[in-house]
Structure 1
Amino acid sequence: NTTLYSTVEPCAMCAGAMVLARIKRLVYGARDPKTGAAGSVMNIVNNRRLNHRISVAEGVLATESSALLKEFFALKRRGL
Structure 2
Amino acid sequence: MSDIWFFMGKALEYAYLSLEANPCDIPVGCIIVSGNKIIAYGNNTRESADRITGHAELNALDAAAALSGSRYLRGCKMFVTLEPCPMCAGALRAAQIDELYFGAYNLREGAAGTVYNLLYPHVKVFGGIKKSDCESLLKKYFISLRS
Deviations 1:33-69 (A, max 9, x none): 110000010010116xxxxx00011100001110011
2:91 to 13, 17, 28: 17
- Displacement, 1:72? 2.0
Q: How high is the TM-score relative to the length of structure 1?
A: 0.84
> Unaligned regions of 5+ residues in structure 1, if any?
48-52
TM-score by length of 2: 0.47
- AA paired with 2:111? A
Aligned residues: 73
Secondary structure at the aligned position of 1:20 is classed as helix
Deviation, structure 1 residue 78: 5.1
Partner residue of 1:6 out of 64, 71, 80? 80
Pairs within 5 Å for 1:35-54: 35-46=109-120, 53-54=122-123
Q: Which has the higher contact order (CA 8 A, sep 6+)?
A: 1
Where does structure 2 lack aligned partners over 5 or more consecutive residues?
1-74
Which residue number corresponds to residue 62 of structure 1? 131
CA distance in 1 between partners of 2:99 and 2:143 (Å): 30
- Name the counterpart of 2:143: 74
Give secondary structure in 1 for the equivalent of 2:119: helix
How well do the aligned residues superpose, as a CA RMSD in angstroms? Answer: 1.4
